[in-house]
Structure 1
Amino acid sequence: MRAQGTGTIRGRVVEAGSEVPLSPAQLTIPGTALGAVTDAGGHYVMVNVPAGPHTVRARMIGFAIAEQTVSVADGDTAHVDFALAFRPILLDEQIVTGTAGGATKRTLGNAITTINAADLREKVVNLNVAELLQAKAPGVTVLQSSGTPGAAGNIRVRGVNSLNAASLEPVIYVDGVRVNSSPGGTFRNNYQQPSQGMAVGGGQTASALDAINPDDIESVEVAKGPAAATLYGADAANGVIQIITKKGRAGDQKLQWDARVRLGQTAWGLDRRTSYTTCDAVRLADPATWPGCQGLAPGTMISATFLDDALRDGLLRNSSLSVRGGGRAYSFYAALDDDREEGVFTNSLDQRTGTRANFAFYPSDKVDFGVNLAYVRTKTAFPMTDNGPTVLDAAWDYEPGRAPQPGQPSSHPYGDPALFEQYDNRLEGDRVTLGTTLAYRPASWFRHRLTVGGDITAQQANRYVPPQGLFDPVSLGQMTQGAPRSDVYTLDYAGTIDHRLPFGRLPSTFSFGMQYTNKEYQNTIAQGTGFASTAVKNVASASTRSSWDEFAQVKSLGFFVQEQVAWRDRLYVTGAVREDNSSVFGSNINQLYYPKLSAAYVVSEERFLQRLTWLDNLKVRLAWGQAGNAPDPFAKDTTYQFVQTVDDVTGQVISALRLSTVGNPSLKPERGSEIEAGFDAALLGNRLGVELTYYDKTTKDALMRVPLIPSVVGGSGVTQLQNVGEINNKGIELSILGTPIRGRLVTWDARLGFSGNRNRLVHFGYSAPYISYGLTTQNQRTVAGYPLAGYWVHDPVPDGTGSYAAGPARFLGPSLPTREGSLSNSFTIVGKLQLYTLLDYKGG
């Protein structure tokens, strides 16, 4: 008997309308291990295809799946070309965030926003993850704390949900592995000297997210609230962001290389103030204070521009190299990158050098195995530019010819530009993120997925304040050194069983699984104060020395079950519950349960709507769910602080312990409960896509610092965290995607986003008129019935004596935007030139 012959399938994949080549599109023959991946020109070749008829399937993110049937002759080559149609709303898109084991978008009753990072990379340069998220997902607010390179931004999803929980930001996962995403590591860049127990404060700090190279990201999925994030348990009330990095694709293909070099420059954009001094007789007679006037004639005017000695043109350099490839049983992606961004100040720098390697193996049609490994070295340096004496203060107060004033008191900046350059607040570190995922399908109806990984960071932090200026007591000079280390370990298992219900024979999917995370932070700090000159910086040479340790560890374990029932492949009802426990919770808390219920209905597939030719897809959705927000690791423990006091017997100043907070062993996570409703629609031949969502989210058991009776606890100002408050956020999110023009000469894609949020403190849960915040003025307050940390003012009113007094406090506005809008446009000209614009609006 003659063996069956083989042939080749060859072709090209382009975008329908514009005919722009698509890469990397994946070609497969369903039911076999045969496959191929397109190159940069959209071409593919599939070899050793058995002779006979076959169905070839082409797919790519953001485009409709297409299939063609072809007959392959022995020793011959068959040609199959595809023109994939762009879809603004893709119901068959695979989602992995907030689902038990991956699901198509059509089955989800909650909103999940997907950002195509790989596509954005071709249009605009994003230096960090915060820039990638900026104005890309309605309901996600990114507020940059500073324009200084490396400064951490704040990410909020659907408003502020807490006052005192451990985190206000969403949980971040990279390829299924939880990573450290909190700001920190550096000593905050403000007037306060670092001290024991000072975990927060004003000023710039670095972000752990900046260690992730945006060029390595394929897509980002955002689950915006408890209705979508229930399966993540007691940390997910603020939302979940899943970063999916680039990977190779199985199939016949060529190696694809990508090399890029980007150069830029940042310059000071405002006028520079020139200062003047008249060398009169008084100044000439005081050479110690005014050395710059000596030898000049009386009445001579001297001038100087302080900023000329403090500023520079900052350079931006970004270079990257990546390769992607694979075969029928494996695939890989590897990359190197080096980024350096200099600020306009000489001691301002953000630098990242890293590498990533993602490997996947497909030994059989039942087993997939993937390994993701990333290493990065970062260096960030901050100038003294906020919450303290700044360069702008100095430029305004600068007096040419005057000697620097040593030991200047509070609120007076340096008098010498050179001292600003000597200020050194930097963070250097190494970070390794490793994850492995095993998928096993013993039967067509039974699937397993196991992810194990870790995110390990070791850093060195230094904050040097030179003598002869700044705030007391560090006017004598101070060096603070730390060695922060943050480790996060993840174990995640999910199993899925497809079956039919005994009643009605409805198809159903039952899922179950568990998640274990172990987060650990530790730091050892040494501090020296008092240096004879700027030539000495080591702690051992300081006149006063101190040291302390910091440590926190949180272990959490959760289990979940989920059932999804389908009716006619258009109506999907999903119910789930997660059980959680954590080392943070008090000893009286054994189990915490977070339920979820959702429904999705693809109503456009009903016959009564199919006559509407302008309606391509319409899915309505409704979801309700709960998730938690845990307190700080030691919130259940009673804490003390060291204070200085005078010994009654000796009269000497001594250190003593003072009660700070009273622990609460019954403390539990805040519980976020959310209901959301909306629809996804594709219109006008898939030229227009609309996503609309309304949500109403309430945080119950909100953590409040309740003042305790002084006579009971033996002192004033002592508080205890209690689950007594309530906070509410409600709003809408709208996303409109359109393609007004799609042709060979010009393609115009547009995206309009809008979101509105109403944030309110429902009640404190204890007797309190308000909580005030502020450094020099208490101009922010949290008041029942108003937004958290809103801005309040006192208008001046006549006091009857011809003068003015402060009137009653008046609400001025919220601290976060209540309205946000964005409009992006992408123009592709003859398939080779791209123009991209983005308008971002925040207000309210």
Structure 2
Amino acid sequence: MQSTSYLLTILFLVMHFSLSAQNTKVYSGKVVNEAGMVMRGVSVIVQRTGEGTQTSEMGRFTVQANERDSLTVSFTGYRKQTLSLGASTDILIKMEPVIAELEVVQINVGYGTLDKKEVTTSVAHVSAKELLNVGGNSGALMAIQGKVAGLTISNTSTSDPNATPSVQMQGVSSRNAGIQPLYIINGVPGGNPQNINNDNIESIDVLQGGAAAAIYGTRGSNGVIIITTKKGTETDDITTNSYFTFDYPNNRLQTLSADEYVRYTSTDFPADVRRGPDYGARTDWFDVLTRRPAVGQKHSIQFSGGGPRTNYLASVDYKTGEGIDIRSMRKEYGAQLVLNHNPLNKLLNLSLNVSPRFVNGKYADYGGENNTFTYALMLNPTRPVYDPNAPGRLSYIENNNPLDQLTLVDNGFKSFYLDWSGSARINLLNNLSSTIAIGQSYVNTNGQYFAPSNSISSFQYNFGTMRGSPVASQNLNTSSIYNFDWTGNYSLSVDRHKLDVLGGYSYSYFDNNGFSASGGNFPSDAYGYNNLGDGDLNYIRDNPAGRVGSYRNDSKLIAFLGRATYSFNSRYYATASIRHEGSSKFGPDSKWGNFYGFSAAWRMKEESFLSNVQWINDMKLRMDYGVTGNQDFPSYQSLNSFRSFGTYPYLGTQYSTFGILNIPNPELQWETTESYNFGLDFAVFNNRISGALNYYIRNNKDLLGLYPLPIPVAPPNNYFPGIYPPSSGARAQVYANVGTMRNWGVQFQLNGKVIDKPSFKYDISLTGATLGNKLVELSNQLYNGGTFINEVEMSAPGSPGFAQRVEEGRRVGSFYMLKAAENTGGPMMVYDRGGNVIPANEANADDRQYVGNGLPKFTFSMGHTFTYKNADLSIFFRGAAGYDIFNTFAFYIGTPVGGGNRNVLESAFDPDSKYSKLTSSSTYAILSDYFLEDGSFIKLDNVSAGYTFNLKENSYLKSIRIYATGRNLLTFTKYTGGDPEIVPINGMTPGVIRNYTSDLKGSFTHLPSMAQWMTGIQFKF
């Protein structure tokens, strides 16, 4: 009987599936938007089986289903639809846009995503279509420059293809620790934004609120930037993109021509302003050292495809870029592979993301005051480039020639980047899952330097001891960040209540090591830097960084984290998070810290008093509070560390000597940031206007900094027993937690659809941010650094002193120098502390005062986008206002006096220029606000135009797009020192050009600004 029952059951199932198979049909159709335009990438799923597909480039889809089945059709920004099938197998689906703008965007908030309407803290979202079209070595960060209010992205050396930008969020946040935000790339902390093909970016989310960043604990103090790249699709697509770039100098500083220079060599001019001598040549050194245009190119190809369970994306790219000088260059080969697999009927989700990149680059001399372009400004234009008595040999009048550095010296590097991550998520229940994610960010760089025997660089490197001896060096540096995360997610929905809970464990290990060797006196130039053993490793005397050396340092982070998100009736939202984290960098009693955040939001549009207000589509009030940390400083500062200090002879034997490398601080702990944010998100007038408004306060406490101690150290509270640093000076320094910084401001982002017709659209976007800043406290009873610190010591000639002062109660970047009086000719006149007008050389340190500030009070941007049928045009402006720049070019070479053999700027002898009035060498190189200028600017930053040809539906080639872009085209400013953006505005000393190799010294290092033209073509198959 039991056997008969089994047989009947099996027979019933066979008949059921046979009938189902007989009813199965092939349904095909097209998906269009509200304007009737086809939509690519729309998800079409058969509800009964869970199988489905995505629409093609032409909006087409094909699925197998029964007549009684239903299709679920969804796409971000449009209402999800459920359609019942029937006898007809040809379907046309029209999608309807979601009414409320706040609902349509998925925001990556770290360890997960939320709908924009659910976000309760300050987060900025930039989609792929909003990225600026940038070429060269700009990378992902420059593509969002000016797009996010309160995020300052600055590249002061656009002429260098190997330069990377500086990024600062909501003001300077630390004195000596790092100010860069944490980068999360495809879920892995610590990745390198330069190792990303911009064509692969899906979105960039910027976590500015403290509550959002708190989930990342010790690394969230400076904000978090989450970069998500594209994933595979179920439709097979191939996309190629190629462009060429052409860079030209922009806002070039103009110096005296050779003929003008010769004119001022006449004895008719006073000795203080007379140029000379005249060597007979007529040389434009800038023309000699530069190439115009500097050419770059990029070619990339992207493949994507798959099915319901497995999809992939694979891409390769090749990119080159030249510097404006005739030597520097950069060449890159990159790739990315993304695999996603959902076996076991979506019980398990597996993913893999691998991104290798090879880089080969060459440097010019961008370091110090006498770099390549500074020479181009200063060199006597009557000097010949080549020796007239030795054809083909460079001229070394005055013992230098910048062409030597660019043509004879080989200074380059080779780097390998590898970012990879993998994850496995098991869906235990419909509302319960667990994920394990691992990843690594790896960088290996090999630097090489060779100065042949016929180069002046070899002579200088050997401190003038002899010429004709090659100098070479190599260095190898490796950095790895390993990450492991194990998280669990639980969600629960009951009636109008919704709860999502996240818990997890995180481990990160940082490993850095390197090796270097250098030497000279090689028997031949033929070896280059490839045979250091044949040289004398002790040849480069008095150079502690030379000879042979190696290092290694490591650190680790361990954290336990949790987050809960609650919502009621899609009206009230609350999020709380905590991260308990430990770092090996800190003292034994301070290794662990708690970082937490709380945020809440109220969607007022859901209330009865606004639900019937037709012109308001959505409105949300939010607030958040968060505590984050900063541990971005060198390892081992809480421990005793030693180094060799050479040898010492004793009784005929040489003994190695060792001494303290740094003074330890066993009480070293986290630098913490308390953040408060209050905001409003809105969408009004049928979503024609939308935006966000934020007010923030950030208190950075226990600032990590170097503080002076007397020598020998008197151990305070037995913190440093028995330590006597080997320095012969009067003071030593120790890392300590001292001081408080406060930043505050208002940020806004506004988007408007000015014209929204099916064939013509005009959109406008505005961003703006104010920045208030104050150093609240600089020292305490234990580490008494005084109430101020002098910053940015200006370089010779003369002894100008310090340009800025950081002082309690004042804004960072304050200029502290003499105040200039009216000057009509002769020596520079200034005010003393009593208000009397005196020559600057008669003033003393007590006469200095606060005269300006280099930190912008307001930054802003404005974008215009026009679309007419298949043509598009975007115009993007950005700028900064309310700050001063110390014009170092005017200070050193902008007046008629000083350095008689140097060339000077045209303004030095322009009667309409105030700098031409300073005609007495007695007051040359004395700091005063006479050289302070308004740094405010408005820049036409990006203009991009393109046209897309959509081909026939059945064509193998789906579309062709051609485009052209201009970058950094026009700058409107009162600043006379060139492009104001070559002057840093990030960090503790904004508004003054610093030495390229040291933030501690000022300089007149000149790196010309670049304008770029780009033209490209894109194919989609």
Asked if Structure 1 and Structure 2 have the same fold, meaning a TM-score greater than 0.5 normalized by the shorter chain, the answer is yes
Deviations 1:291-330 (A, max 9, x none): xx9xxxxx99442333333222311111111111121111
Q: Which residue does 1:634 correspond to in 2?
A: 636
Q: Which residue does 2:425 correspond to in 1?
A: 439
Q: Distance in 2 between matches of 1:711 and 1:149?
A: 47
Q: Which residue does 1:468 correspond to in 2?
A: 456
Q: Which residue does 2:283 correspond to in 1?
A: 304
Q: Do structure 1's residue 525 and structure 2's residue 516 form an aligned pair? A: yes
Shift in Å, 1:488:
1.0
What secondary structure does 2:103 align onto?
Answer: coil
1:778 pairs with 766, 790, 802, which one? 802
Q: Distance in 2 between matches of 1:719 and 1:633?
A: 16
Q: Distance in 1 between matches of 2:325 and 2:169?
A: 33
Q: Which residue does 1:747 correspond to in 2?
A: 761
Q: Which residue does 1:841 correspond to in 2?
A: 879
Q: Which residue does 2:40 correspond to in 1?
A: 23
Q: Distance in 2 between matches of 1:802 and 1:595?
A: 57
| Contact 1:227–1:673, Cα closer than 8 Å, also in 2 | no
How many pairs does the alignment contain?
780
What secondary structure does 1:586 align onto?
Answer: coil
For residue 374 of structure 1, what is the amino acid of its counterpart?
S
RMSD, matched Cα: 3.4
What secondary structure does 2:442 align onto?
Answer: strand
Q: Which residue does 2:93 correspond to in 1?
A: 81
Q: Residues 657 and 358 (structure 1 numbering): CA distance in 2 closer, same or farther, change over 3 Å?
A: same
Q: Distance in 2 between matches of 1:404 and 1:611?
A: 85
| Contact 2:220–2:628, Cα closer than 8 Å, also in 1 | yes
Deviations 1:74-96 (A, max 9, x none): xx523132345387833353333
Q: Which residue does 1:491 correspond to in 2?
A: 484
Shift in Å, 1:693:
1.1
Q: Which residue does 1:186 correspond to in 2?
A: none
1:329 pairs with 305, 309, 333, which one? 309
Q: Do structure 1's residue 227 and structure 2's residue 241 form an aligned pair? A: no
Q: Residues 464 and 726 (structure 1 numbering): CA distance in 2 closer, same or farther, change over 3 Å?
A: farther
Q: Do structure 1's residue 45 and structure 2's residue 52 form an aligned pair? A: no
What secondary structure does 1:52 align onto?
Answer: coil
* Structure 2: gaps spanning 5 or more residues: 1-14, 263-276, 389-393, 541-545, 715-723, 796-800, 821-829, 883-1021
Deviations 1:375-402 (A, max 9, x none): 1101232211342313334333244348
Shift in Å, 1:511:
1.9
What secondary structure does 2:72 align onto?
Answer: strand
Q: Which residue does 1:201 correspond to in 2?
A: none
Identity among equivalent positions (%) equals: 21
Shift in Å, 1:471:
5.4
Q: Which residue does 2:684 correspond to in 1?
A: 683
For residue 856 of structure 2, what is the amino acid of its counterpart?
P
Shift in Å, 1:248:
1.3
Task: Point out the more displaced range, 389-398 or 370-379.
Answer: 389-398
Shift in Å, 1:639:
4.4
Q: Which residue does 2:839 correspond to in 1?
A: 803
Q: How do 1:523-602 residues align onto structure 2 when only pairs under 5 Å count? A: 523-529=514-520, 537-538=528-529, 539-540=532-533, 541-542=535-536, 543-544=539-540, 546-602=547-603
Q: How do 1:748-763 residues align onto structure 2 when only pairs under 5 Å count? A: 748-763=762-777
1:319 pairs with 271, 288, 299, which one? 299
Q: Which residue does 2:943 correspond to in 1?
A: none
Deviations 1:587-631 (A, max 9, x none): 122531112111121121112101210000111111111111014
| Contact 1:645–1:655, Cα closer than 8 Å, also in 2 | yes
Shift in Å, 1:245:
0.8
What secondary structure does 2:489 align onto?
Answer: strand
| Contact 2:211–2:625, Cα closer than 8 Å, also in 1 | yes
Q: Which residue does 2:733 correspond to in 1?
A: 719
Q: How do 1:394-433 residues align onto structure 2 when only pairs under 5 Å count? A: 394-395=375-376, 396-398=378-380, 399-401=382-384, 414-415=400-401, 417-433=403-419
What secondary structure does 1:377 align onto?
Answer: strand
Q: How do 1:206-245 residues align onto structure 2 when only pairs under 5 Å count? A: 209-245=193-229
| Contact 2:638–2:668, Cα closer than 8 Å, also in 1 | yes
Q: Do structure 1's residue 179 and structure 2's residue 190 form an aligned pair? A: yes
Q: Distance in 1 between matches of 2:315 and 2:881?
A: 39
For residue 633 of structure 1, what is the amino acid of its counterpart?
S
Q: Residues 29 and 80 (structure 1 numbering): CA distance in 2 closer, same or farther, change over 3 Å?
A: farther
| Contact 2:195–2:355, Cα closer than 8 Å, also in 1 | no
For residue 357 of structure 1, what is the amino acid of its counterpart?
L
Q: Which residue does 1:452 correspond to in 2?
A: 438
Q: Do structure 1's residue 384 and structure 2's residue 375 form an aligned pair? A: no
Question: Whose strand proportion is higher, 1 or 2?
Answer: 1
Task: Point out the more displaced range, 545-554 or 690-699.
Answer: 545-554
Deviations 1:193-218 (A, max 9, x none): xxxxxxxxxxxxxxxx3222111111
For residue 568 of structure 2, what is the amino acid of its counterpart?
W
Q: Which residue does 1:482 correspond to in 2?
A: 475
Q: Distance in 2 between matches of 1:794 and 1:72?
A: 86
Shift in Å, 1:179:
3.1
What secondary structure does 1:569 align onto?
Answer: coil
Q: Residues 379 and 22 (structure 1 numbering): CA distance in 2 closer, same or farther, change over 3 Å?
A: farther
What secondary structure does 1:483 align onto?
Answer: strand
Q: Residues 491 and 649 (structure 1 numbering): CA distance in 2 closer, same or farther, change over 3 Å?
A: same
Q: Which residue does 1:828 correspond to in 2?
A: 867
Q: Distance in 1 between matches of 2:487 and 2:399?
A: 58
Bigger Cα Rg:
2
Q: How do 1:637-648 residues align onto structure 2 when only pairs under 5 Å count? A: 637-639=639-641
Q: Distance in 2 between matches of 1:414 and 1:534?
A: 20
Q: Distance in 2 between matches of 1:354 and 1:721?
A: 40
For residue 805 of structure 2, what is the amino acid of its counterpart?
R
Q: Distance in 2 between matches of 1:88 and 1:421?
A: 61
Q: Distance in 2 between matches of 1:90 and 1:618?
A: 8
Q: Which residue does 1:137 correspond to in 2?
A: 148
What secondary structure does 1:740 align onto?
Answer: strand
Q: Distance in 1 between matches of 2:852 and 2:55?
A: 53
Deviations 1:645-688 (A, max 9, x none): 999999x9999655453111121111111111101111111111
Task: Point out the more displaced range, 378-387 or 453-462.
Answer: 378-387
Q: Distance in 2 between matches of 1:152 and 1:126?
A: 8
Q: Residues 121 and 168 (structure 1 numbering): CA distance in 2 closer, same or farther, change over 3 Å?
A: closer
Shift in Å, 1:10:
3.5
1:357 pairs with 315, 337, 356, which one? 337
Q: Which residue does 1:190 correspond to in 2?
A: none
Shift in Å, 1:122:
7.4
Q: Residues 521 and 644 (structure 1 numbering): CA distance in 2 closer, same or farther, change over 3 Å?
A: closer
| Contact 2:791–2:802, Cα closer than 8 Å, also in 1 | yes
Q: Which residue does 2:268 correspond to in 1?
A: none
What secondary structure does 1:765 align onto?
Answer: coil
For residue 551 of structure 1, what is the amino acid of its counterpart?
R
Q: How do 1:507-522 residues align onto structure 2 when only pairs under 5 Å count? A: 507-522=498-513
Shift in Å, 1:404:
7.7
| Contact 1:123–1:836, Cα closer than 8 Å, also in 2 | no
Deviations 1:146-179 (A, max 9, x none): 11212011011111111122x2111111111123
What secondary structure does 1:234 align onto?
Answer: helix
Q: Distance in 1 between matches of 2:577 and 2:502?
A: 9
2:122 pairs with 80, 88, 111, which one? 111
Task: Point out the more displaced range, 529-538 or 688-697.
Answer: 529-538
Question: Whose helix proportion is higher, 1 or 2?
Answer: 2
Q: Residues 647 and 779 (structure 1 numbering): CA distance in 2 closer, same or farther, change over 3 Å?
A: farther
Task: Point out the more displaced range, 700-709 or 601-610.
Answer: 700-709
Q: Do structure 1's residue 266 and structure 2's residue 247 form an aligned pair? A: yes
Shift in Å, 1:765:
2.6
Q: Residues 217 and 39 (structure 1 numbering): CA distance in 2 closer, same or farther, change over 3 Å?
A: same
Shift in Å, 1:232:
0.7
Q: Residues 341 and 772 (structure 1 numbering): CA distance in 2 closer, same or farther, change over 3 Å?
A: same
Q: Residues 417 and 563 (structure 1 numbering): CA distance in 2 closer, same or farther, change over 3 Å?
A: closer
Q: Distance in 2 between matches of 1:645 and 1:783?
A: 43
What secondary structure does 2:221 align onto?
Answer: coil
TM-score for both structures, normalised by structure 1: 0.85
Q: Distance in 2 between matches of 1:447 and 1:367?
A: 10
For residue 361 of structure 1, what is the amino acid of its counterpart?
H
* Structure 1: gaps spanning 5 or more residues: 182-208, 279-292, 294-298
TM-score for both structures, normalised by structure 2: 0.71
